[in-house]
Structure 1
C-alpha cells in the first residue's frame, strides 16, 4: 500500500483534532461522565481483583468498591456543608467586617483620587443593580445546572459498574483495532495507562487529605476563623493545575477578610498557604506521584483552559489525566510520536536548530543515556 504524503498525514491529524474538539464541545454532558467513570473504575480495579481473588461474587465485588467511593464523597460533602453552616451562623459578624473593610477602602480611594465617598457610593449602587439584573438571568439557569449535576452524579455509579462488568469486552474491542504484531505494544500501553491513572488519582486523594489537614491545622493554630473550610476549599481547588491554587488563594483571602476586621490574619493566611504549597510542590507531591506523569507546564495550563471551556469544572479536573493517557498512546505510535514530545517535559540538552540529531523522532543515546547528534 502506497504511503500517504507527509502533508496529507498532517492535514488528517489537524482535521482529526478539529473533529474530536467539536465532538467534545457538543457532547460534553454525555462524554465527561463516561471519562470520569473510566478513571474511577481503573482506580477501583485493584480492589475488584482482590475481592474476586477471595471468591467474592462478581456483582458484589463491583458494588462494594462503588459503595466505598459513594461513602467517601458523602463524607466530603457532609464535612463541607458543616463548615459552610458555621460560616452562615457568623453572617451578622461577617456583615459588620465587610462594612468596615468597605469603609476603609472608600477612605483610601478618596485619599488617592478625586472621587468622594458620595460618588463612590453612587457607583457601587449602580453596579449592584447591574449585578442583581445579571443574577436574575443566571438564576433561571441555576435549576438546569443543578439538575445536570445530579444527573452527572447519578450516572457515575452506573457507568463504573458497567465498565468493570464489561471490561474484558472493552479490552477486546481495543485489541481488535490493531494487527496482532502490534498487540504487545498495545498491552504495554494499557498497563502503563492503568499504572499512571492509579498512581495519579490515588496521589491526588492523598494530596487532598494532607493539604486539608496540614493547611487547616496550621491555620487553626494561628487562630484563623473558618480554617478548616479554607483548607478543604484550597485542597480541592489545588487539584486543578496552576489555576486552582490562584483561585484558592483568592477565596482564602476573601473568607479571612469577612471573618476579621484587620488585615493581619490575611497576611497569615497567605504566608501559611505559600509555605504549604512549597512543601507540597517540592517535597510531598513528587514523592507521592513520582515522575510517572511528565507533562510540561505549558501543555498543563492549556489543557486546564481548554478543558474548562469544553466541559467546565469537570473538564478542568480531568485535563491532566487525559493528557497523561494521550501521551502514553502518542509515545507508542510512530504517526503521533511528535505529539508525545510536545506534551512531555523532556528537554533536549542541545538546540535542535544547531544539532540535526535532536530533530529525529527517535532519541539518540550515548552509553551514559545523554542525547547527542
Structure 2
C-alpha cells in the first residue's frame, strides 16, 4: 500500500527536485551539453551502424567508421565555411572603403534631415568607441573561453557518440531497470519513439539547411550579388536557429549587399529577402515526419 503525502509536501518535493535538477544542469553543463549533442548524433547515426552490422561487420569497427565519417563531414563543412569566410575577408579593405563612403552619406543625411551635426555624431561615436575599448579585455577573455569550450565540445562529442552507440544495449537495460517489471515494454516503446522523433528532427534540419542554401545561392547568383555562396551559407546556418535566425540572416545579407553592390541590386535583394522571410513565417520550424 502506497502512502499518499499531503499536497504541500508533494509540492515542496517537486519544487526542490526542479531546483536540484537545474543546479545539476548548471554545474555540469560542460559535461552535459556535449552529452546532449552526442545523444542526438548517436540517434541519427544508429541506422547506419545497424546497416553495417547487418553486413556482418564488427560492431566496434562499424561504429568507428560511422563516427569517423560524421566527423569528416563536419570538418569538411567547417573548412568550406572557413574558405568562404577567408575569401570574404580577403576583400575587407575594399569593403571598408565602401562602408566608409556609405557611412559618410548616412552622416550627411542625418545632418540635413535631423539637424544632427557631423561634429556631434563624431563625438558620440568617439565616446562609444572609448567605452568599447575599456570593455575589450573582458570581451577578448570571454571569447577565448568560448572558443576553448567549443574545441572541447568538438573533441568530446565524437567520443561520447562512440560510447553511446557501443554500450547502447547496456544503457537500455539500465533504463528499463529503473521502472517496475510490468512497464518494460512501455519504456522501450517510449525510448524508441524518442529516437525516431530526434532522428526525424535532425533529418528535417539537414534538408532545411540544404534547401535554404541552394535557393539562396541561386537567388544571389541571379541577382549578381557579390559573395553569393558565403552569404547563402551564413543564411542557411543562421536559419537553423528558430524564429530569429532567418531575420538575422536577412539583415546581414542586406547589409553586405548594400555595401558591396549597386543600389538597384540592393532593392531587388531586399525585396527577395522580405519575400523569403514572409514565406518562412507561413511554415513552422522543421520537425520532420515520422
Give yes or no for TM over 0.5. yes
Corresponding residue for residue 272 of structure 2: 272
Deviation at 1:190? 0.8
Alignment of 1:194-273 (within 5 A): 194-260=195-261, 262=263, 264-273=264-273
Corresponding residue for residue 68 of structure 1: 69
Corresponding residue for residue 156 of structure 1: 157
Contact 2:111–2:118 (CA under 8 A) maintained in structure 1: yes
Inter-CA distance 283–250: structure 2 relative to 1 (3 Å threshold): closer
Corresponding residue for residue 112 of structure 1: 113
Q: Distance in 1 between matches of 2:33 and 2:135?
A: 28
Inter-CA distance 115–225: structure 2 relative to 1 (3 Å threshold): same
Q: Distance in 1 between matches of 2:278 and 2:152?
A: 38
Structure with larger RCO (C-alpha < 8 A, sep 6+): 2
Inter-CA distance 239–113: structure 2 relative to 1 (3 Å threshold): same
Uncovered stretches (5+) of structure 1, i.e. residues with no partner:
293-373
Tell me how many residue pairs correspond in the alignment: 289
* Greater share of helix: 2
Give 3-state SS (helix, strand or coil) of 2:13's partner: helix
Deviation at 1:282? 4.7
Per-residue CA deviations over 1:305-362 (Å, capped at 9, x if unaligned) read: xxxxxxxxxxxxxxxxxxxxxxxxxxxxxxxxxxxxxxxxxxxxxxxxxxxxxxxxxx
Q: Distance in 2 between matches of 1:206 and 1:3?
A: 50
Computed over aligned residues only, the root mean square deviation of the Cα atoms, in angstroms, reads 2.1
Contact 2:63–2:166 (CA under 8 A) maintained in structure 1: yes
Corresponding residue for residue 289 of structure 1: 288
Matched, 1:89 2:93: no
Q: Distance in 2 between matches of 1:117 and 1:276?
A: 37
Alignment of 1:357-368 (within 5 A): none
Q: Distance in 2 between matches of 1:36 and 1:4?
A: 38
Inter-CA distance 12–244: structure 2 relative to 1 (3 Å threshold): farther
Q: Distance in 1 between matches of 2:187 and 2:126?
A: 62
Q: Distance in 2 between matches of 1:269 and 1:79?
A: 24
Contact 1:211–1:235 (CA under 8 A) maintained in structure 2: yes
Matched, 1:53 2:54: yes
Deviation at 1:7? 4.0
Q: Distance in 1 between matches of 2:186 and 2:196?
A: 15
Inter-CA distance 193–134: structure 2 relative to 1 (3 Å threshold): same
Q: Distance in 2 between matches of 1:89 and 1:222?
A: 22
Alignment of 1:281-360 (within 5 A): 282=282, 289-290=288-289
Corresponding residue for residue 42 of structure 2: 41
Corresponding residue for residue 313 of structure 1: none
Deviation at 1:285? 6.8
Inter-CA distance 258–47: structure 2 relative to 1 (3 Å threshold): same
Contact 1:97–1:260 (CA under 8 A) maintained in structure 2: no
Inter-CA distance 231–10: structure 2 relative to 1 (3 Å threshold): farther
Q: Distance in 1 between matches of 2:71 and 2:14?
A: 40
What TM-score do you get using the length of structure 1 for normalisation?
A: 0.72
Deviation at 1:283? 6.8
